Structure 1
């Protein structure tokens, strides 16, 4: 993601830090400073100091410290990016990005505005008649078309004016246009009903196109770009955020038309992911505005499985949603059309905690067989272990004990034993397990030709290797490569550990692929370690020049990590 402009960050830092903190901490004057009970640890006497003049807070009990952005990061669990945007929006500051990417991103957003004009114009011509009929038959009207900017793109759209306005790199990087093997530019969308996908500030970040001629895929989204990342984006977030602020809750549905139907019927706090499972980033985005999340799923097996799959991410985010399961053949759009909004509201009013619903269904599926019940309980235990907040964990332990008919104390003891074992393993073998990929990578090299080893090692920064012995072996190997035709020739030079590595079993039949996989993981470990170091540094540094530099490096690291993850898919 692009970094923020210095002027935007400066405006955020000019906000009186006391006004940022006071909604969460009762502050009292003592001299020129303000004091209160620290929100980050339990205490009876105030040790949390706020210096409004300098714009910083510090707790003398737990050593938490930083500026307004840091406070929001810690208090609300936001990333630096989310915390900055949250404060900018709250205090009416324009969200601005810096550097070359910002100019690039602005051009892509401008390009999307031009495409939207074309799409909206075509929707109301004879070419868009089929698209209008399709959407009218789904009981939407002109008000809905205008509210959501619905349009149409035919197969013979003339984009010549657009081609003149924007250079090719903008066209291709937008994710809307592609280049054919003959060098011609063409649009990825044609004969499709078009929906603009807007970011949180209301700019068009991407498009979704619904096929009208039966061609696949039925729905097509823009490719990812500098302004559009599926895992960070939610359909309708631009309009839903205000309703979420007022109600403090949000509805998550699967489809774009589900959102539109709910919005039309008063549930303006409705959003949908981009055809993928919810991500931690999307949950974090919703937590900015909502205290309660309700997921609406189809009542069939697929809907049930999708709901339970989402539980893990919610558990890790420290927030468990409510759930509504619709009849098997319906989604929110069809249910409201078939049974009316009042019946939907009745279902919504009976929404249930998703985790508790899962526990009940697991017990029901055991059919009173105690052994099967215990087997089902394992998945509940695994979920409980993911919950870090002790109060939330205790709440669900009590619920699980009651529904399964088990003793709460037994569950607590079992979880405590599991957590203890987990911590012992982590503490004992952090380097061994975390950097197992380094050992596996070195083991692969024994089985590969010298030229392939050279290819793998030449562009590799060996300082990424944490295991000192492995790093030493690889350095020696690089030194000897020009002089040998086989690694077996220098076994004695590389030491006894390389002999042990040579005897190690390789997980894959394709040793080269296994080596590449482990090399990628080594690089990822190094990048993530550096990323964490920079985040910690960002939380403590007060130097503005250093902050900008850190943000720039964090931005570059985020891109590199995303690229490595994508390569590994």
Structure 2
């Protein structure tokens, strides 16, 4: 475990607005900051960050917590991993923590592999073929460092021997795809290849891509999906591009590794690429909190156009703004920027929906009635996927002019019934959630809870356990404000608690506390009376007078306690 004093020092240094701003574009809103929630799809910002409370909460989906729980939820980390990540960010030394988790083992073996590939690239003799190739493509050493490029030499067991010497588990290396099991044992997957590490936004290496140097197939080889790497959920170049994406408020999506490197080499730094797949909604969700629009920049061949069309479909599904640039035939972003420069690169950008509709209509014979009918059907099918009614109407008008039919004919074929919403709506917090929120926010409430003896009346066993843990932490000299939010996240009961933390006011703290205690006890007493009533009826049916008298006496006691609580509120 990381010592509490170290965790407390990290909490004091880590500003929640600063940290979350790396993931979400926040704008001032009164005393708080607001942005689009990174945990669910929305168009109107409902994600609020409070610098005063050092908490975040989404009033749309209910997600909430402190700086640790944000990283836990967004980066899929444990509490210990979130603490270490923030410690690294703020330059605070943390005693080495061995979590023993499989995920950490996979990440560690990838870190070692990257070290090996980097050393091979820079080796005076072994790395020369890769260095010459990079320089020949116009990629200079500064970019090698920025994108952590590496080299896998021709041998079959170079990486394997290195990992063994470092004490790594070869089973982990096999599971993440670095090694392959053959008839004679394990051997290196990547050989004679320039290596592109595939990182998440925090720089953790999830997988690798490799470009063959010399003869061989396939030309490009990627790590297979693994417990830590799913190619449709990661964007190449996201870590070095993120700050530039935030600054430009737009991201350029290209097709391949060298497109990214070449654009970055020539000063276009807000650029990323999917990994051998069509752009997915999962990848767009990495960009959505950071941008106002996404620019799809693809080759001018048929494959490039198809990739752009699939990208627009993903943009529409995720409700994001976009533009498309299709380069001239025979050009790709790498060749184009080297011959024509960055100023010309995005000159022909056009709205993504315009591009999609134009390409869609091109696929039909508009000179025949049947062709126009089928084209109209395809257009209607696409337009119905656009959420915004006004935008849908404008593009219906645009498509009707292209098809030569009346706009109302298109609109009449659309189903305007509202889609069934699966979006979670956060409910009002319960009294128990509000009380736990007070314990998290205000240290003095801990002693009040202990004196009120209210926890035995909780109806939620999980919230009762969390509250009891807060009492224990306070007794041991810890800080519940720091340690309880991650526990709420892990137990899945944080939504109502953090909603309450955002709505309660300090000026009425004692009144809110007393009201919560009264309501919790009243609810508990009424539940006890309901259960007691069933026992009384059973005793009457069975003619057990002695038990009946005892139950009636207990009923009177509960009624007396209930009346006292009601009078106390008057």
TM-score per shorter chain, which class? 0.5 to 0.7
Contact kept in structure 2, 1:112 and 1:204, CA below 8 Å: no
The alpha-carbon deviation at position 296 of structure 1 amounts to 1.3
Question: Which residue pairs with 2:195 in the alignment?
Answer: 194
- CA gap of 1:35–1:244, structure 2 versus 1, over 3 A, is closer
Question: Which residue pairs with 1:383 in the alignment?
Answer: 382
The alpha-carbon deviation at position 379 of structure 1 amounts to 2.1
- For the residues of structure 2 that align with 1:251 and 1:15, how far apart are their CA atoms? 29
Contact kept in structure 1, 2:175 and 2:226, CA below 8 Å: yes
Of 379-388 and 100-109, more deviation after overlay is shown by 100-109
Q: 1:74-122, CA deviations, whole angstroms, 9 ceiling, x for partnerless residues?
A: xxxx99526999xx89x96769997613432442243223323433234
Question: Which residue pairs with 2:140 in the alignment?
Answer: 141
- For the residues of structure 2 that align with 1:64 and 1:289, how far apart are their CA atoms? 19
The alpha-carbon deviation at position 543 of structure 1 amounts to 7.1
SS in 2 for 1:288: helix
Is residue 2:396 matched to residue 1:397? yes
Is residue 2:74 matched to residue 1:81? yes
Question: Which residue pairs with 1:547 in the alignment?
Answer: 489
- For the residues of structure 2 that align with 1:108 and 1:282, how far apart are their CA atoms? 25
- CA gap of 1:54–1:66, structure 2 versus 1, over 3 A, is farther
The alpha-carbon deviation at position 147 of structure 1 amounts to 3.3
The alpha-carbon deviation at position 313 of structure 1 amounts to 1.9
Q: Which 5+ residue runs of structure 1 have no aligned equivalent?
A: 1-6, 29-33, 427-541, 552-569
- For the residues of structure 1 that align with 2:134 and 2:75, how far apart are their CA atoms? 35
- For the residues of structure 2 that align with 1:84 and 1:257, how far apart are their CA atoms? 31
Determine which of 358, 361, 364 is the counterpart of 1:360: 358
The alpha-carbon deviation at position 189 of structure 1 amounts to 1.1
Number of matched residues? 402
- For the residues of structure 1 that align with 2:58 and 2:119, how far apart are their CA atoms? 54
Within 5 Å, which residues of 2 pair with 1:143-542? 143-156=142-155, 158-159=158-159, 160-165=161-166, 166-182=168-184, 184-337=185-338, 339-342=339-342, 345-364=343-362, 366-369=365-368, 371-416=370-415, 419=417
- For the residues of structure 2 that align with 1:35 and 1:289, how far apart are their CA atoms? 15
- For the residues of structure 2 that align with 1:66 and 1:191, how far apart are their CA atoms? 46
The alpha-carbon deviation at position 257 of structure 1 amounts to 0.8
Give the aligned CA root-mean-square deviation in angstroms: 4.6
- CA gap of 1:220–1:412, structure 2 versus 1, over 3 A, is same
- For the residues of structure 2 that align with 1:11 and 1:187, how far apart are their CA atoms? 42
- For the residues of structure 1 that align with 2:33 and 2:197, how far apart are their CA atoms? 48
SS in 2 for 1:190: coil
Question: Which residue pairs with 2:478 in the alignment?
Answer: none
Contact kept in structure 2, 1:280 and 1:317, CA below 8 Å: yes
- For the residues of structure 1 that align with 2:269 and 2:350, how far apart are their CA atoms? 21
The alpha-carbon deviation at position 404 of structure 1 amounts to 3.3
Contact kept in structure 1, 2:120 and 2:127, CA below 8 Å: no
The alpha-carbon deviation at position 219 of structure 1 amounts to 0.6
Q: 1:426-473, CA deviations, whole angstroms, 9 ceiling, x for partnerless residues?
A: 9xxxxxxxxxxxxxxxxxxxxxxxxxxxxxxxxxxxxxxxxxxxxxxx
- CA gap of 1:274–1:66, structure 2 versus 1, over 3 A, is closer
Question: Which residue pairs with 1:508 in the alignment?
Answer: none
The alpha-carbon deviation at position 309 of structure 1 amounts to 2.3
The alpha-carbon deviation at position 268 of structure 1 amounts to 0.5
- CA gap of 1:50–1:405, structure 2 versus 1, over 3 A, is farther
SS in 1 for 2:415: helix
The alpha-carbon deviation at position 23 of structure 1 amounts to 4.7
The alpha-carbon deviation at position 185 of structure 1 amounts to 2.4
- For the residues of structure 1 that align with 2:114 and 2:51, how far apart are their CA atoms? 44
Question: Which residue pairs with 1:104 in the alignment?
Answer: 105
Question: Which residue pairs with 1:470 in the alignment?
Answer: none
- CA gap of 1:349–1:178, structure 2 versus 1, over 3 A, is same
- CA gap of 1:387–1:16, structure 2 versus 1, over 3 A, is same
**Larger RCO: 1 or 2 (CA < 8 Å, sep 6+):** 2
Q: Which 5+ residue runs of structure 2 have no aligned equivalent?
A: 1-6, 90-96, 423-483, 494-570
Q: 1:326-362, CA deviations, whole angstroms, 9 ceiling, x for partnerless residues?
A: 122121112223x3215xx335122011221122234
SS in 2 for 1:319: coil
Q: 1:126-145, CA deviations, whole angstroms, 9 ceiling, x for partnerless residues?
A: x3333333333323333333
- For the residues of structure 2 that align with 1:267 and 1:49, how far apart are their CA atoms? 31
The alpha-carbon deviation at position 22 of structure 1 amounts to 11
Contact kept in structure 2, 1:120 and 1:149, CA below 8 Å: no
Of 308-317 and 272-281, more deviation after overlay is shown by 308-317
- For the residues of structure 1 that align with 2:50 and 2:144, how far apart are their CA atoms? 49
- CA gap of 1:82–1:143, structure 2 versus 1, over 3 A, is closer
The alpha-carbon deviation at position 204 of structure 1 amounts to 2.9
